[in-house]
Structure 1
Amino acid sequence: MKLGDKLPAIALAATGDKTVKLSQFKKTKVVVYFYPKDSTPGCTTEGQNFRDLYSQFQKNNCEIFGVSRDSIKSHEKFKEKQEFPFDLLSDPDEALCKAFDVIKLKKLYGKEYLGIERSTFLFDEKGKLVNEWRKVRVKGHVDEVLAAVEAI
């Protein structure tokens, strides 16, 4: 996935007993943010930040989707507990993660493993990738994404 590419035609299970195919979103800006794991500190804070500014994203004709490899059951609990107004997509087979190249070698306590690198992607109303943030640091990130959405 690189700037100018279109939203992928990959369908994933989503919260609320839905299936979401990102390529179906036309005439709407779309933010897709990838995060490592439900209910972990950084992922919770990032989701809360998107939640708290959700009305601003909506005013700018923008939908938000959070994506991780967690199960729908885990996503439903996470979404309900944090009161997220947007859907979370489950990507256990890493189809969308691989399309966006967010699976990276990571280290934790000296052990290496493959995991999701926190990343965010912004698509315009034509479904074209116009901005990407990789190796995201949570603090201030959602404000930056909102500013980019407002600038389109």
Structure 2
Amino acid sequence: MSPVTLQQTVPDFELPATGDKTIRLSELRGKNVIIYFYPKDNTPGCTLEGQNFRDHIETFNAHNTLIFGISRDSVRVHENFKEKQQFPFDLLSDADETVCNLFGVMQLKKNYGREYMGIVRSTFLIDAEGKLIHEWRNVKVKQHIDEVLEVVKSL
């Protein structure tokens, strides 16, 4: 399956989530959905990114927008991360990278001379009808929340 592109309806998907839930995209119609992909729970950048979404949850709620974080970590690891950081949104586990590949966030990365496939930090905004209306790729955490909030407030 080729990655979803802007202005395209996102194919339905289903992933296990924190709170012993399964999140199915088609069941979220009627609300805007922010999906942010991040490399790994309990790392500095991923923690800060989640905290930024957490700290602005009231603004997202006021604009009919749900937030979900996705990484390849297990639901058990996600549960601990969510509780420790008091995230008011669910974290989804994409262990087999199906949804990561749907959004094209798995890419070759380099770290200390080692090459590996990993998640490139990216955020996607899906509108209430299920269409991908905005994407942020290769996200830099510090200014990212402001960029996302600006777009969400314009909806």
TM-score after normalising by structure 2: 0.96
Residues 55-112 of structure 1: per-residue CA shift (max 9 Å, x gap): 1100000000000000000000000000000000000000100000100000000000
How far apart, in 1, do the equivalents of 2:48 and 2:119 lie? Answer: 16
How far apart, in 2, do the equivalents of 1:126 and 1:79 lie? Answer: 28
Q: Tell me whether 1:150 sits opposite 2:153 in the alignment.
A: yes
The correspondence of residues 43-54 of structure 1 with structure 2, limited to 5 A, is 43-54=46-57
TM-score after normalising by structure 1: 0.98
Match of 1:60 among 49, 63, 66: 63
Q: Tell me whether 1:89 sits opposite 2:92 in the alignment.
A: yes
How far apart, in 2, do the equivalents of 1:84 and 1:135 lie? Answer: 23
Is there any run of 5+ residues in structure 1 with no aligned partner, and where? none
Match of 1:33 among 27, 33, 36: 36
How far apart, in 2, do the equivalents of 1:130 and 1:151 lie? Answer: 12
SS, match of residue 22 in structure 2: strand
Q: Contact (CA 8 Å) 1:6, 1:23: kept in 2 or not?
A: no
Q: Tell me whether 1:102 sits opposite 2:102 in the alignment.
A: no
Kindly provide the amino acid, as one letter, of the partner of residue 54 in structure 2: R
How far apart, in 1, do the equivalents of 2:26 and 2:145 lie? Answer: 23
Aligned match of 1:115: 118
Aligned match of 1:126: 129
How far apart, in 1, do the equivalents of 2:62 and 2:46 lie? Answer: 24
Q: Tell me how far 1:123 sits from its aligned partner.
A: 1.0
How far apart, in 1, do the equivalents of 2:146 and 2:42 lie? Answer: 21
SS, match of residue 101 in structure 2: helix
Residues 14-49 of structure 1: per-residue CA shift (max 9 Å, x gap): 000000011221110000000000000000000000
How far apart, in 2, do the equivalents of 1:113 and 1:146 lie? Answer: 32
Kindly provide the amino acid, as one letter, of the partner of residue 46 in structure 1: E
SS, match of residue 37 in structure 1: coil
* Number of aligned residues: 152
